[in-house]
Amino acid sequence: KPSPAAAPDRLPFSRITDEDLSFFRKILPGRAITDPDLLESSNVDWLKSVRGFSEVLLRPQTTEEVSQILKYCNSRNLAVNPQGGNTGLVGGSVPVYDEIILSTALMNNILSFDSISGILTCQAGCVLENLSLYLEERDYIMPLDLGAKGSCHIGGNVATNAGGLRLLRYGNLHGTVLGLEVVLADGRVLDCLATLRKDNTGYDLKQLFIGSEGTLGVITAVSILCPHKPKSVNVVFLGCETFEQLLKTFQLCRGMLGEILSAYEFLDSECMKLLNTHLKLPNPISGRHCPFYVVIETSGSDAAHDGEKLHNFLEEAMMSSLVADGTVATEDSKIKTLWSMRERVTEALTHDGFTYKYDISLPVERIYQLVTDMREHLGDRAKSVVGYGHVGDGNLHLNITSPAKDPTLLAAIEPFIYEWTARCHGSISAEHGLGLKKRNYIYYSKSSQAVALMGDIKAMLDPKGILNPYKTLPDNLK
Ligand code: FAD
Ligand code: 2HG
Ligand code: ZN
């Protein structure tokens, strides 16, 4: 019996012809790529776990070009895979069969920035890190930050509703995105590119596209509300003996750091082992090996005030034995070093073997129980079972490795993990989306009525189903 994650049969889309290629070459001179070597990296995902067989990569520069492409593809019944930085982790960013890849890589202009309101408007293909650098020169920051910042595009971030390391402080993109421009499947341009904090005129259509993973439209421009750059940033790396202590430390720091707390992230000792072994990153609290590590960030406007608060918090955490050991960073290079212990776990895992990834939302007090239960359940069938993630948001990243792809191991993990999550009323995809890999598990987190309504919305916006087929929605949806 094939795994429910396996791709369904190819749907009856047209196959690309020489005439189609001539059309694309005419509207995108030099930007309709068919060289197989150049196509290779766009056909394979970041994890190198799924591969498509597209023969064409289109690189539009303008919204008008995206509109022409989609109008043509819709009329010809050609399937299209929107692609940003191709850092997605659920197999949504690459084609399954021969879908045309529509890349936003050349749509990388900043359109405007208002230094009073902090509202940035840009094309969808701007790389997140470039936007951060642009804003930092102007005393602002992006409201989101993730380990993939050097490659991911803001359009891809919006399409996946990416969470990341600052969500605890600034909320998710449903709150910070103020406007979107989207090209619909038939080429119509939907201009919802508002730059207003408040706008209750009718339905908030842009919300539909945030987290829609390229299945409802191609996002071509984004306006987003950016916070002021904090004047004072501190990062603390702590070790805890138990997960319970880690949670108590979270409560304590919420109380004592209050408005300056900007991140509360964790990794377990198995992650630390992988960072040491595969990336040669030493434990920042070298003498002390702990079962759990926490990265806490504060961001504020007054170094003396923040320093005092942090000092009082650390004293209390140490005195009450919640924390075994720790180190503090105030200067940039050490801050980066401490953050890399959390940000580079994903990279370390790629050196450990084939990785099965799970991105689960749970009531925060349950999140590590799942890791413990999974370890017990798998015994020595897995190479590593690691837990890390965004404690402050109740979001666990549970990753399991094996020397090679292992269907028997997969059968032991799934549906065990999904059933466990559903019993706790959690979500089987907290922030990565469903893509190709998780689409058929949607019912563990959403009711059949909700999924049916999603199908109706898809049918209304993309009646021929050309946009990112085989992704997000389950196969059995008609
Ligand atoms: P892609 O991977 O290219 O695409 C992702 C999905 O969005 C696909 O379904 C694609 O079809 C669609 N899409 C892309 N662009 C558009 C567009 N313009 N219009 C419509 N649809 C589009 N995610 C988190 O939430 N939090 C994290 O902390 C985090 N950290 C990561 C760290 C690493 C090292 C890596 C590799 C990934 C991480 N991710 C994280 C996962 C990933 O979701 C994000 O990297 C990012 O949001 C994807 O953006 P992208 O431009 O690479 O999109
Ligand atoms: C993170 O928070 C990312 O580091 C990636 O969301 C998680 O690789 C993963 O499973
Ligand atoms: Zn994450």
pLDDT-derived band of residue 16, with 50, 70 and 90 as boundaries? very high
pLDDT higher than threshold 50 for residue 1? no
Map tokens 């898809």 to a residue.
458
Residue 470: closest CA among 98, 39, 142: 98
What is the predicted pLDDT for the residue at 370?
98
**157-189 per-position pLDDT tens digit:** 999 999 999 999 999 999 999 999 999 999 999
Q: Which of 83-92, 287-296, 458-467 has the lowest mean pLDDT?
A: 287-296
* Global ipTM: 0.99
Q: What is the model's pLDDT at position 3? A: 57
pLDDT digits (tens, 9 = 90+) for 334-389: 999 999 999 999 999 999 999 999 999 999 999 999 999 999 999 999 999 999 99
Residue 164 Cα to ligand 3 middle (Å): 5
- Measured from the CB, is residue 42 less than 6 Å from ligand 1? no
Angle CA(218)–CA(463)–CA(185) in degrees, nearest 5?
A: 20
- Please say if the pLDDT value at position 69 is more than 50: yes
| Close Cβ partners of 117 (under 8 Å, ≥ 6 residues apart) | 195, 197, 225
For 451-469, what is the mean pLDDT?
98
Q: State the average pLDDT for the chain.
A: 97
ω before 415 within 30° of 0 (cis)? Answer: yes
- Say if residue 476's pLDDT is above 90: no
Residues 350 and 47: beta-carbon distance below 8 Å: yes
From 241, 349, 328, 240, select the one nearest 284 (Cα to Cα).
Answer: 328
Tens of pLDDT along 284-329?
A: 998 789 999 999 999 999 999 999 999 999 999 999 999 999 999 9
pLDDT score recorded for residue 477: 84
Beta-bridge partner residues of 292? 240, 268
**How does residue 467 score in pLDDT terms, banded at 50, 70 and 90?**
very high
Q: Residue 2's pLDDT is what?
A: 46
Rg of the chain's alpha carbons, rounded to an integer?
A: 23
Predicted confidence at residue 288, as pLDDT, reads 80
Q: Which of 122, 146, 437 to mutate to test the pocket of ligand 1 (most atoms within 8 A of CB)?
A: 146
Q: What spacing in Å lies between the alpha carbon of 84 and ligand 2's midpoint?
A: 18
Give, for ligand 1, the residue of 87, 154, 174, 357 to mutate: max count of ligand atoms closer than 8 Å to Cβ.
87
389 Cα: distance to centroid of ligand 2 (angstroms): 7
Of all residues in the chain, the percent with pLDDT exceeding 90 is 97
Q: What was the pLDDT predicted at 397?
A: 98
**Does the pLDDT value for residue 261 go beyond 50?**
yes
pLDDT band at 478 (very low <50, low <70, confident <90, very high): low
Query: Quick one: which atom of ligand 2 is closest to the CA of 164?
Result: 2
pTM of the model: 0.98
Ligand of minimum distance to the alpha carbon of 181:
1
101-109: average pLDDT: 98
Q: What is the pLDDT of residue 6?
A: 79
Q: Is residue 472 in contact with ligand 1, taking CB distance under 6 Å? A: no
